[in-house]
Amino acid sequence: MSRGTTAIVDFENLRHNFQVLSKLAPGKLVLVVKADAYGHGLKKIVQALDGVDCFAVATIDEALIVRQVRPKARVLLLEGFLDNDELLVAIQNQFDSVIHQKEQFDMFLKLEPNESMNIWLKYDSGMNRLGFTDAEFSTAITSLNNHKNVNELILMSHFASANLADNEFTVEQTKKFLQYRNNQKVSLSNSSALLNKEYLPDEWCRVGLALFGISPIESKTAADFNLKPVMKLKTNIIAIKEIKAGESVGYGQVFKAKATMKIAIIGIGYGDGYPWSLTKKAHVKIQNQPANIVGLVSMDMMAIDISHIPSANIGGSVLIWGKDQYSNLPIEKVAANANTIPYVLLCQITSRVHYKYVE
């Protein structure tokens, strides 16, 4: 018997999603693989994808990992270089870089004539996170157009609410951004805008969550867009016991049985990245039958109600999220039942979860 807590990553589904998004995109695609490819394994994901226009990451360390795997790939630093050392590393490795603040802009202007790179100049159209204000953006465009150290200039911004279809703020952001475009290439849309078909003609669309077969759009699942889940997370039953009416399960005695019931203890907990705070709807699946989580999630395990699943046995497989030959439990639903979002579930998987990569 094995604890069996495993994240199984399906390359066939990954490539399927890439093809679906490529056909939907109006121009080129930037595949966002930051945060260890959203918890899927950066090296393995980058190795599995051919014909990619550009990979995007958050940090210089992530970019260097991509460069090891794909020596000739176009790699974009979404947060840009944060000091002179990072700027030189970016140039040496031929990374593209976002410039989103004056300090970066000033560092770039001090480069030697033979030091050049592709620049993605970021405008803050309303996200109020990274990006230049109106006056700063206009000045920076003027300075960087035809600049000797700029190989290619792309203007970009970031949507705040593109996950909501026909959102007025998205329209407002687009209008503000486009007033500065003058024949430059642009990048504005994310996964949500692409799936909602609210993209610009011939732009560089930046897709992250959708690549991994997960919908970022409220009330929609990946299947609605012909996307397939790339990861399934599973574990095993490590113990089964019967408890009587009035007996409690787990820490704090927050759950008490109303009648005699059978519970299974499964080998996953918050130490593996499963959320501790859950709604009463939170469940896993055994052979496509839902099994509600009872009591509080422990560090290494949690209890589920299997009273209605007589075939459940010690060592049996339990689907935490994803899709297997018996069951389907979308991560979007799991996230909703934990009052969180799929991004968080993926990014908080810990190192003790085993990964298995399959074709």
Q: Does residue 110 carry a catalytic annotation? A: no
**Catalytic residue among 110, 241, 251, 326, which?**
251
**φ, ψ (nearest 5 deg) of residue 134:** -55, -55
Neighbour-count burial of 43, counting CB atoms closer than 10 A to its CB (0-12 exposed, 13-18 middle, 19+ buried): middle
How far is 97 from 60, CA to CA, in rounded Å? 10
How far is 348 from 344, CA to CA, in rounded Å? 6
What is residue 67's three-state secondary structure? helix
Contact status, residue 315 vs residue 234, Cβ threshold 8 Å: no
Distances (CA, A) of 189 to 33, 132, 211, 354: 16, 18, 14, 34
How far is 4 from 220, CA to CA, in rounded Å? 30
Contact status, residue 355 vs residue 9, Cβ threshold 8 Å: yes
Q: Does residue 326 carry a catalytic annotation? A: no
Please state the separation of Cα 75 from the chain's center in Å: 17
CA atoms within 13 A on the CB side of 31: 29
Give the active site residues.
Answer: 34, 251
